[in-house]
């Protein structure tokens, strides 16, 4: 019950849940639920902790990445006096706090009733998020809506709504292809699939389309193409919906890359700005190839400043506010580019090994947990290409729960990984 009750705050934007400050640390309701659920699982089922070792490859990769991130909170002091180690250590610890969600499923989802409760709550929350997003899409001015006819945040956030919706839709697909029964009934399964697809489309995350294609492709391979119409149809429908809702952004980007006649942009254009920031991140990495500039170092303008003028010359047609400045450093906004720039080649390889280890054990485990873990992780691999290392967001929740279901599958398999 504790794990199921953690889902609503985990999948709610920080602006729409209670928060309080402890010194320089902002604690949100989701933090409390994650810690309570995770610590309870560790204490109440401490006798079953050896089962987690069946996914030892994941834990070794997670530990190595965590150690390197912590080291990256200190080694920038060797060359940069202004680096705020205290703030960045807190950020690192908060990012890995959600690792408790990777531990809990293997320990607490012990009966069919437990699993039905978890996915029942997921369905209800995804349905509520989709309902609010639909209302925003048709013109309701709720919860910082983006305006009628455009992508919407619901109460989750645009990118995070795509993560929640995509996770719900994939869980429904897995149940419908006969890979397990995570839902109480077939009706609930269809509801989860439909509301998940609506949320994914209205979240409008093109990076999510990449992840969804990977996830559905893996599902087709594992099911040997037996449900190609259902899986392929759901994937195509969602992809077309997202491309339609982001058509203006795509049109702007085609002008940026020279496929259409260029015009002076009236404001910051999403895809173009991400290209500019990725270019700057690449320059940062080339000058700091091994260890980078430190955890969240690219959030500090001091580390971006040497490359901004060059970026302006390289992209002269971009709106002035597209470029980092002291009042808005922006950061990199792409996990993989940020990993290279902040953590260097070492950190990037450790991040790749972490994702790879989860995909590996999920691929080998028994359904349905293995398929849920595999598809959720593949989904977020795409979504993280449009989001930097950010702590405590719903995308974190999908990521670590995906890891958790992969671990749970390994624990159920009864065979030691590695």
Number of helices followed by number of strands (H, E) in the chain: 16, 2
State residue 415's pLDDT score.
37
Q: What is the DSSP letter of 77?
A: G
- Residue 96 included in any domain: yes
Quick check: 292 and 72 in contact, CB under 8 A? yes
Tell me: do 217 and 289 sit in the same domain: no
Tell me: do 327 and 186 sit in the same domain: no
Tell me: do 343 and 310 sit in the same domain: no
- Residue 259 included in any domain: yes
Cβ neighbours of residue 356 under 8 Å, at least 6 residues apart?
Answer: 61
CB-facing half-sphere around the CA of 38: CA atoms within 13 A: 20
Find tokens 């029942």 and name the residue: 120
- Integer Cα distance of 19 and 14 in angstroms: 8
Q: How many domains, in total, are found in the chain?
A: 2
- Residue 399 included in any domain: yes
State residue 417's pLDDT score.
36
Tell me: do 240 and 206 sit in the same domain: yes
Quick check: 125 and 195 in contact, CB under 8 A? no
Given 333, 358, 379, which residue is the final one in a domain? 333
Task: Mark out the alpha helices in 186-328 (DSSP H runs).
Answer: 186-203, 206-222, 228-245, 247-256, 270-287, 301-314
CB-facing half-sphere around the CA of 4: CA atoms within 13 A: 15
Task: Kindly report whether the global pTM for this prediction surpasses the value 0.85.
Answer: yes
Tell me: do 235 and 141 sit in the same domain: yes
Tell me: do 324 and 377 sit in the same domain: no
- Integer Cα distance of 276 and 304 in angstroms: 12
Tell me: do 18 and 107 sit in the same domain: yes
CB-facing half-sphere around the CA of 138: CA atoms within 13 A: 5
The whole domain housing 32 covers 2-245+336-413
- Integer Cα distance of 26 and 20 in angstroms: 6
Nearest to 170 by CA among 130, 119, 125: 119
Given 294, 318, 333, which residue is the final one in a domain? 333
- Integer Cα distance of 193 and 198 in angstroms: 9
Tell me: do 315 and 219 sit in the same domain: no
Mean pLDDT, contiguous 10-residue spans, the chain (418 residues): 94 90 80 94 91 92 95 90 85 89 92 93 96 92 83 91 96 86 89 96 91 95 89 94 79 53 58 83 93 91 88 82 80 90 96 96 90 96 91 93 94 54
Tell me: do 97 and 193 sit in the same domain: yes
Find tokens 């972490």 and name the residue: 354
CB 321: neighbour CB atoms within 10 A?
13
- Residue 53 included in any domain: yes
Beta bridge partners of 26: 21
Tell me: do 41 and 187 sit in the same domain: yes
- Residue 50 included in any domain: yes
- Residue 97 included in any domain: yes
In 29-107 the beta strands, taken as DSSP E runs, fall at none
Tell me: do 9 and 116 sit in the same domain: yes
Given 333, 351, 373, which residue is the final one in a domain? 333
What angle do helix axes 112-137 and 158-176 make, rounded to 10 degrees?
Answer: 130
- Residue 418 included in any domain: no
Quick check: 154 and 202 in contact, CB under 8 A? yes
- Residue 383 included in any domain: yes
Quick check: 54 and 416 in contact, CB under 8 A? yes
Tell me: do 391 and 276 sit in the same domain: no
Residue 11, phi then psi, degrees to nearest 5 = -100, 40
């Amino acid at each position: 019950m504790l794990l199921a009750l953690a889902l609503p705050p985990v999948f709610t934007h920080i602006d729409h849940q209670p928060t309080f400050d402890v010194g320089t640390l902002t604690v949100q309701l989701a933090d409390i639920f994650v810690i309570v659920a995770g610590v309870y699982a560790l204490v109440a089922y401490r006798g079953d902790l050896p089962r987690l070792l069946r996914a030892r490859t994941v834990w070794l990769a997670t530990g190595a990445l965590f150690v390197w991130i912590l080291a990256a909170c200190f080694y920038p002091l060797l060359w940069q006096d202004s680096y705020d180690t205290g703030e960045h250590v807190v950020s690192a610890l908060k990012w890995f706090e959600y690792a408790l969600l990777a531990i809990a499923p293997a320990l607490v989802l012990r009966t069919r009733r437990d699993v039905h409760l978890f996915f029942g709550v997921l369905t209800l929350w995804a349905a509520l998020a989709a309902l609010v997003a639909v209302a925003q899409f048709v013109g309701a001015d709720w919860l910082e809506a983006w305006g009628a006819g455009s992508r919407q945040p619901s109460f989750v956030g645009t990118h995070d709504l795509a993560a929640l919706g995509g996770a719900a839709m994939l869980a429904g697909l897995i149940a419908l292809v006969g890979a397990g029964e995570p839902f109480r009934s077939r009706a609930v399964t269809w509801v989860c699939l439909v509301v998940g697809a609506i949320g994914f489309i209205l979240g409008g995350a093109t990076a999510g389309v990449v992840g969804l294609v990977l996830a559905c492709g893996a599902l087709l391979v594992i099911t040997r193409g037996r449900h190609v119409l259902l899986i392929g149809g759901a994937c195509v429908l969602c992809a077309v919906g997202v491309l339609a809702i982001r058509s203006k952004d795509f049109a702007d980007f085609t002008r940026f890359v020279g496929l259409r006649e260029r015009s002076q942009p009236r404001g910051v254009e999403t895809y173009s700005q991400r290209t500019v920031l990725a270019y700057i991140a690449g320059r940062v990495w080339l000058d700091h190839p091994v260890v980078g500039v430190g955890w969240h170092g690219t959030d500090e303008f001091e580390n971006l400043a040497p490359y901004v003028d060059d970026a302006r010359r390289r992209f002269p047609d971009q709106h002035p506010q597209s470029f980092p400045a002291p009042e808005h450093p922006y950061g990199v906004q792409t996990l993989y580019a940020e990993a290279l720039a902040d953590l260097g080649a070492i950190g990037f390889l450790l991040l790749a090994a972490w994702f790879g280890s989860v995909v590996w054990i999920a691929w080998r485990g028994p359904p349905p947990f293995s398929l849920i873990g595999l598809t959720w992780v593949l989904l977020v691999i795409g979504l993280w290409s449009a989001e930097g290392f950010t702590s405590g967001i719903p995308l974190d929740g999908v990521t670590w729960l995906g890891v958790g279901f992969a671990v749970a599958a390994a624990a159920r398999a009864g065979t030691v990984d590695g």
